[in-house]
Chain A
Amino acid sequence: MSGIHTLTMPKWGLSMSEGRVNAWLKGLGDPITRGEEIVEVESEKIAGALEAPASGVLRRRLAAEEDLLPVGALLGIIADADVADTEIDAVVAEFLANYVPPSEEEEGGGSVPGKIEVGGLRIRYLKLGAGGEPLILVHGFGGDLNNWLFNHATLAVKREVYALDLPGHGESTKDVADGSLDNLTDVVIGCMDALGIPAAHLIGHSMGGAVCLNVAKRSPQRVHSLVLIASAGLGAEINGDYITGFVAATNRRALKPLLSELFSDPGQVTRQLIDDMLKYKRLDGVAESLDRLAGKLFANGSQQMILAEVPEVFGKPVLVIWGKEDRIIPARHAPKAGGKVRVEILEGQGHMVQMEAANDVNRLMESFLG
């Protein structure tokens, strides 16, 4: 039965417990090539296409369009054309007999965020994986550790991976002191101290990239390598209207067009994404924190901290990833990384490239980290 492959509801991100089958892209009996998109699935957070795990023929379509199914539920069967129907039916029957939908406890199981005290602040972090060289994920302006929802678990297969909420963000204390990059940098280094991490690979997105650059500048001995995604700190330009608008936005109507700037596919700006962002923005202290950060780091629509020289001085491996259609920080900042830096520009992608093109970005990061 080795030629029979099950197609199941994927788990995209830690919080996904169920997904809706939006549309089948392949018909029953269609030939399938491994990696081909087979069925469109949508979770509360994101929509995407499921890639074929193997080549063959789509022999069964067990989920109907519009079905809302738990993670791991059987969607279809791919098998070679010459596999007997009885064999396929046996696999389906066995799967259904053994399948247990994940319980609510299991969903969060083993991946509950923790909190640590750093310089009088409570910092939330999520650790996944164990062993290997530690890796730390640092989100951007207005983001949180969930920005790594589609990357975190993949990276954690080979090593322990920590995602942080910077001060003023997520569930960390809403206090950014003077709003400076050095303050954020202090916190990241403080987290490494508190978590007992002597040195780590750092991956930063947007403003988080600038924080990682600054850590590499100030404490190069604590950084094995850098991955900078749509990073700030490499040039002066930034979409000032986005920053100003995002800081000011207090409702769905104001926020939706702004968040659309972040993605290449405006369909990714789901109701849930907007609601989650509004929930964050309505926490006491967030408005002040964002205002202070924006005033310090992105005053007058221009980046105030340029660290473009850091990668070269740093001298260790650096990977720069950018979506070519990034409307927040232009992709042309990427080559300015210079030195022995590997640069990857993804066609058609926007600022949230690690979410929208998670598979591609994950592959790039994995091959870089080795």
Chain B
Amino acid sequence: MARKITYQQAINEALDQEMSRDPSVIVMGEDNAGGEGSPGEMDAWGGVLGVTKGLYHKHPGRVLDTPISESAFIGAAIGAACNGLRPVAELMFVDFMGVCFDQIFNQAAKFRYMFGGKAETPVVIRTMYGAGFRAAAQHSQCLYSLFTHVPGLKVVVPSNPYDAKGLLIESIRDNDPVIFFENKVLYTMEGEVPEEIYTVPFGEAAILREGDDVTIVALGRMVNMAQEAAEALQKDGIHCEIIDPRTTSPLDEETILESVEKTGRLVVVDEANPRCSMASDIAGLVVRKAFGALKAPIEQVTAPHVPPPFSDVLEDLYVPNAAKIERAVTRVAEYR
């Protein structure tokens, strides 16, 4: 039985191991250690939820706490990446992208192309996303589709501890700007994670369950809900194939299309809002490239087109869940 650690520990271990292996890797963000200039303990937090805890003392001088100046430090991480470092900057909540987006989408994303292929920007921007903490409209969004829209960015959305570690190491070693999305609800999820260093490549979806009846493509936290739904559906004789793209840019189109060619039925599960989303993107892909295979209309299980609400009853209605996925799969499976 392999070692089990949490999603959060897996991310910490990936940072620790890559910092140990490669002196050009640095970490920066708001309170990534915590306590700078304050009278109490240093490394008081290790990030707002403790993900980077311990790195400050293990790697002296290479964990930089920043002022609350996202535009400045995210931009600085990008600049440092242009000059030989491999910074991992933390944008605490992805909702804060608004105060630094220019540096990401106009600067980092475009250097390579604008400069005629002569630039490399090996920066990683780690960021938390997702509902479930009753953290309301400005701390709960799933904005990966906005970043996926921008050419030049790679976008990673790990759904489990194993992938979180391997994809983060891959992100750090990758020579393009990578936006690494961490679901805050998944931080406590446990899973088998090798102690050794390993990578998980970009653009290769994981097939988490094989089945012939309905393809479910799910992202991030939704992958677990899809698995729960698929287990229940199997008792009704509906066999689902679950695909976790793992990265939305690049997107493993082939695995999705191959599966739909087999099943002819697709449900896309995405915690984000439905318009111009990964759900609509994947649905569009399948309509364009596997139209002939489709035996039923594609269903999307997403949050509604509203901001994340605060009250627990509303937030629970807002986020997709296994029951909603089951209903969508059943509709798709029964469509004739």
Contact = CB atoms under 8 A, between A and B. Distances in A.
Classify A-B as touching or not with yes or no (CB < 8 A).
Answer: yes
Interface of A: 14-15, 66, 68, 107-108, 112, 171, 174, 250-253, 271, 275, 279, 282-284
A252 B207 contact: yes
Interface string B217-260: 00000000000000100110100000000000000001100000
Given A66-B234, A107-B1, A275-B206, A284 B197 contact: yes
Given A283-B194, A283-B196, A112 B1 contact: yes
B194 A279 contact: yes
Contacts of B254: 253
A315 B255 CA distance: 54
B119 interface: no
Contacts of B198: 279, 282-284
B204 A251 contact: yes
B231 A250 contact: no
A66 B196 contact: no
| The 10 A-B residue pairs with the shortest CB-CB distance in the complex, in nearest-first order | A108-B1, A284-B197, A283-B198, A282-B198, A283-B196, A271-B210, A251-B204, A282-B199, A271-B207, A66-B234
Residue from the set B166, B198, B200, B204 with the largest chain A CB neighbour count within 10 Å: B198
Interface in B1-34: 1
Contacts of B73: none
A170 to B, nearest CB: 10
Contacts of A282: 166, 198-201
B231 A68 contact: yes
B1 A284 contact: no
B129 interface: no
Nearest to B258: A253
A283 B210 contact: no
A360 B162 CA distance: 36
Interface in B178-216: 194-201, 204, 206-207, 209-210
Contacts of B235: 66
Interface residues of B, number: 22
A307 B237 CA distance: 54
B197 A171 contact: no
Interface of B: 1, 162, 166, 194-201, 204, 206-207, 209-210, 231, 234-235, 237, 254-255
B207 A283 contact: no
Contacts of B206: 275
A361 B89 CA distance: 55
A250 B201 CA distance: 9
B201 to A, nearest CB: 7
A250 B207 CA distance: 15
A252 B252 CA distance: 12
A250 B199 CA distance: 11
Nearest to A64: B235
9 contacts: A14-B1, A112-B1, A171-B195, A171-B196, A250-B201, A253-B254, A282-B166, A283-B194, A283-B196
A195 to B, nearest CB: 21
A279 B204 CA distance: 13
Contacts of A250: 201
Residue from the set B194, B209, B231 with the largest chain A CB neighbour count within 10 Å: B194
B234 A252 contact: no
Nearest to B206: A275
Nearest to A284: B197
B231 to A, nearest CB: 7
A253 B252 CA distance: 12
Nearest to B195: A171
Contacts of A112: 1
B205 to A, nearest CB: 9
A171 B231 CA distance: 32
B271 to A, nearest CB: 24
A66 B240 CA distance: 13
A112 B4 CA distance: 13
B1 A279 contact: no
Nearest to A286: B198
Given A282-B201, A284-B199, 6 more contacts: A66-B234, A68-B231, A171-B195, A251-B201, A252-B204, A252-B255
